[in-house]
Amino acid sequence: MAESAVLLFSWKASKLLARSHIHNYVHLKCCRRCLWALGLVHSHSVHKPEICLVLQSTHLPSADGTRTLSNLYFLKPALSPSESIKKDKYRNKKQKNIGKRKDYSQTKLEKDLILVDKTRKSLVTILEAHVTRMKSIENMLLHPAHASMKPDEHHFQNGGIWHNKSSKAQRELKNASEDYHHAFKEVMKDGVIPLDDNIAFLASANTLKTSDIVPHDQCQLPLSSQKQSGDALTADTAEKHLRISGDHLTSVQKSIISQTIGQQNVTQDNRLETSTAFTDFEDGNTDSHIHLSKTAQTDGSSKVHVDEKNMLPAVVALGFNNNLKVFVDACISAKMVARAHATVSYYVKRAQHRPKVNSNVSDVGIFNLVAHAWAKQGNTEKVKEVFRMMREAGVSLNHQSYAAAFECVASQTTTDKTLGKKILSQLEKKGLRVEAIFNNCEFRGDGKEKVFAAIKAIRPTFVPDPPPALKGYSAKLVMHLNEEDMKASGRLDTPYSGLFTKEELIIRGRQQCKAELKGQVAVKSIEWKPPLDSRTIEMRKILEESQKKWKETLHDAFVKNVKILSHKLSSTKVVNVLPFLRVLKAEDYVDIMLQEVRLLAESSETFSPGVQILYRGLGQKVQNRYATQVKINDQLTSKIQKLYSEYLQYFTDVRLTCEKIPREYWQSLLEASPEGPTVDVEEKGWPFHVLTGVGRFLYDILVHELKIDTAALMTSKEKMSKYMPIFYKIFRNVGVQVKEEIKPHPAVVKLFKGAAEEQLLFETNLVPMLSPPIPWSSTKYGGYILSSARLIRLPFMASQQQALLDQAPSNQLYPVFDSLNQLGACPWIINEPILDLVIELFNNKGSVELDVAPPVSECPQLPKILPGMTKEEKANVSKECLAIKRKRAEMYSLWCDALYRLSIADHFRKEVFWFPHNLDFRGRVYPCPPHFNHLGSDVARSILKFAKGQPLGKHGLDWIKIQLINLTGLKKRNPVSERLAFANQMIANILDSADKPMTGSKWWMSSDEPWQTLACCIEVAKATRSPDPDKYICHLPVHQDGSCNGLQHYAALGRDQHGAEQVNLFPFDVPQDVYSGVASMVESLRQKDAESGIEIARVLEGFIKRKVVKQTVMTVVYGVTRYGARLQILRQLKDIPDFPQDYAWKGAGYLVQKTFQSLSEMFTATREIQDWFTECARLISQVRGQPVQWITPLGLPIVQPYYRTVNGAKSVPGVEGKMTRYVLHHGITSEKPNVMKQKNAFPPNYIHSLDSSHMMLTSLHCQSDLPNDGSICDITKQRLNKVLASVPPRGNFNLKNVLESTYFFS
């Protein structure tokens, strides 16, 4: 294996390379004018590194017994951006005649060429002078003892010559030029630099990239001067350089320069070409980099092969392109097309100048957006420039690109058929079919009609391809549902049939569209407030007047600040926040800010979120409003409303219900209406830094511009106006960090509190719908009609998963779509008797026992420090005050949550409503409205009922009774027959609870789920008292929950017989309770320790109950840590009145240890599988350097979005001071996954995805086998394959036994 020596010209570079395990290097310095190496050292000061030499020698002796130097590499010279800017400014100031100023990029290029030329000639001189002393030079470079010598000692011991004067250096260079070829032939052996594993390792170091290594035969004309640095290399400059050093160039070097000149001439010809449009649509040639071998040495013997086919797209590159795409889209919506064009051009050129992974514009959609924007204006020249940019960026044109070209032709005053024929010719030359444009492209406004007219004018016989035929499911688990008889079965009586007529649904649909266009829903608060008095009326009048003034102030300030920002950012082309502040009208931003004023004024007085959360929340409101506005601008609103009115017929026509599912019917409507804009258009969600930037800008206006007259709130007659800012910033210590918060002025809080507003405002995507949701048929559109809704709630880091979703075949995700659509199509109503009781209790100070949040007034008062207290007593009082403040903040948060939930429920009291659904990144299903849904707490579930009921039937009443006992938690270990018998025994208490819930025996209050128990008691009473219980129409939903579902999945995966029995996968006459089983094992271990004299074991006697260990047992399979489990058990011990609290922390630690020990003994296979999952995830993320990804049994691709984050904020030329806050920086994410999070999160995330797949299968059909586990991506590295192949052994449990298990659901 070869050894490497590196000559560095900055101490920083030497330190970085030292961390890369390259130790045999010598540190030298360079001057500004000339570079000396191989023993020659300058005498001037150094300010920047110009070049780095990487030399390599072999162990093979030459003929004379010495080792010869075989390889020489140059690292490309680069100037610091900040230093370049300073030089540029200084040079411009010195030049008196403006007409004589030169372009700095050209000047810099000439200096680079002169520098490299001098460097080459210096090396020729050195090599010619020292070729006979190569052994001593090599020993000097490679021997570690010489690395620490001073330059003087180092030089004179090797007989070097000092070159302190440039004139002497020039004479040396001139004399040595004649022997250039001979010297390099002797030293470099034919002048060819082979790449081997040593240099491959060097290139893979953290600080050096493959593109930074240049062979010596290309060093005469650096690659940075042509494509990679972005400098404009003209033919004159290259020919001048060729004349200077042409006598010393090899044939390879001459060919490179000739090729460079030719390419430059072609580029100039293309730029000068204006008369002939669209003559060249060829793709841009990619830059010629040095390609490393795919096989790299690891430990000297074994080789690890990396299969790049399975590598995910770089997350940083995806993030950069997504951010740029969002910016371009915002610019176009804000009618700033020129700014979008200039920004894309800037980043394309910057990528050529500084090739980085995270700054290459590689998304063709970015260019297509700009091209379509110019095409709508009929600007042919600008569209040509966009296509030239694509060629420079190496991006291929697709159907969408040519659609923009055709739209440009049609947007002109007269259609240029000659131009259209050239476009058509180029399209077909690339192997694309013009007939496929309308199926592969997205159109806005009248773009589709224009493209069709342009093509029809060129080719009168043109007929577009018909829409592709609908495909069936591709997942094996549901392929049998593709059969026609399976499609029609079970849908004659749906949850929505017979509820409404088509006309009634259309009216409700119009109401929903109107609300979504408005963007807000006003909901009356259920909070009890005293009757109106004169003071309240006066405060409302003051508030109304103040809001009018605030509205005018905000409008003027917003317009003024946007103009200032536009002026400050006019000279920069980087992505910034400006277009996002112009996508809406100024009035819309003002309305959003006024809503934020009220939100902050009515927030908690003891707790407020950090400014980053506030910024992001305010930016999200702007983005939601913008998403609706885009549909209006693109003329999409009217088309969607028309299609939606036709879609509502599906819920009233039994024939359609039997023939198609909601997704298929919606797709058939889209196919029948091809005219107009595309409905399934990608919604470009704003990244978090955009949301933060927009929110920061608006909050700056709120904080600095709005004021309140505090004197107006005084009751005294003599008032002197005193205006104070309504918001101020505070800084709070949170641990070791300082948290910045924004608090309202007490006068503002007093004003809103005194006005006693009766309505709460909610975004339309935060409340249920008045009509059925739009069915999901693609990843781009579904859920709400016009409001923003995303299929998957992806965090900002999850750009890779979004890329996989976009690449997945449409029918691969159909099972997921259909499951969401079926859940969303189910209508709901309010259980009014339960809602009335909860509201009454809520306004009567709540109840902690019944999970109804009490108001903050019920929190204890803060203790005071009294005179005479000791330091210890004062410290205890301070701790108690801190605990009470935290308790107040928690109580207020819970109270607000209950207020929102109950107010929304009361708003829909007399309505039928629907919950649209979507997913998280693991595939778990959630309703979109967060405050009120059927997956909420016990209170939320109790006040919801199915809109359409069903007759109980022969045994229905018995099952309702069994459900009631299940909710109480009293007979969990008893069989069904005993539960039914117990319900019949308690029928008196059940009827008493239904008739007198708040004044009777209150039996229902002792239940585990009291409010659902009460709802069930009322239903049992109504059914029992009905004339015929079998025909009683019941609307009560019955929620089913697995018996420790996580352990069920692990037991099924491992075919663990013992574990399956514990979690009711195996049929028994009596249900098994794993929580009680674990508690029993912990108790037996405690008894042994108590007998051994362990104190804490004796203290815990009688306190180890099922409830104490339940949460820990439930969450251990989802990755709970020992510390987290200790906190869970600590909370349970604190809730036990008789337990000595002094032993709570110690007892929790003891029980955690025993609980984990019991679980390991009870579920051995589960622990083995979980450990194997963890190790696989660790190796995938650490060895392979990729996030863990898999595909669920229903075809949903999942990628864990955990990466190392770094701060990518950098200075921007021309943007200084506070304006830098509004420049949006990219590169905030590292390419490397976070190994710790990847390995710890994979087991629970994988189980969650399987659990969700089971739920979706249940919604698609009633019976199915347990699905296979998801397939992890193919890994080709040997060590990783070895671990992945070591699958824990399976047991002998038969999964078909699950079908016979009565108590699978608890």
- Known catalytic residues are 1041, 1110, 1274
Helix (H) or strand (E) holding 333: helix 315-333
What string of H, E and C letters represents the secondary structure of 224-262? HHCCCCCCCCCHHHHHHHHHHHHHHCCHHHHHHHHHHHH
Taking alpha carbons only, the member of 1115, 1076, 1050 closest to residue 1306 is: 1076
| Residue linked to tokens 């009443």 | 957
**CA–CA separation, 1046 and 1245 (whole Å):** 11
**CA–CA separation, 1057 and 1075 (whole Å):** 18
Instruction: Determine the number of helices (DSSP H) and then strands (DSSP E) in the chain.
Output: 48, 26
Concatenated DSSP letters for 876-905? HHHHHHHHHHHHHHHHHHHHHHHHHHHHHH
State CA 649 to chain mean position distance.
37
Taking alpha carbons only, the member of 856, 875, 597 closest to residue 743 is: 597
**CA–CA separation, 814 and 482 (whole Å):** 11
Query: Rounded to 5 degrees, what are φ and ψ at 261?
Result: -65, -40
**CA–CA separation, 210 and 1172 (whole Å):** 36
Helix (H) or strand (E) holding 321: helix 315-333
Say if residues 681 and 444 touch (Cβ distance below 8 Å): yes
Say if residues 149 and 142 touch (Cβ distance below 8 Å): no
E strands present in 593-715:
707-709
Say if residues 770 and 913 touch (Cβ distance below 8 Å): yes
Q: How far is CA 1101 from CA 1030, 1087, 1134, 1138, 1139, in A?
A: 50, 8, 15, 12, 10
Q: How many residues does the chain have?
A: 1306
Say if residues 544 and 537 touch (Cβ distance below 8 Å): no
Sheet containing strand 1271-1272, strands side by side: 1197-1199, 1189-1191, 1271-1272
3-state helix, strand, coil in the chain (%, to 5): 55, 10, 35
| Residue linked to tokens 């450990």 | 1171
E strands present in 1060-1211:
1189-1191, 1197-1199, 1203-1205
3-state secondary structure of 1178: helix
Q: How far is CA 220 from CA 56, 112, 216, 334, in A?
A: 20, 10, 8, 47
Helix (H) or strand (E) holding 994: helix 987-995
Taking alpha carbons only, the member of 233, 235, 222, 227 closest to residue 106 is: 233
Rg, Å, the chain Cα set: 37
Q: Work out the number of other CB atoms within 10 angstroms of the CB of residue 562.
A: 17
Cα-Cα end-to-end distance for the chain:
65
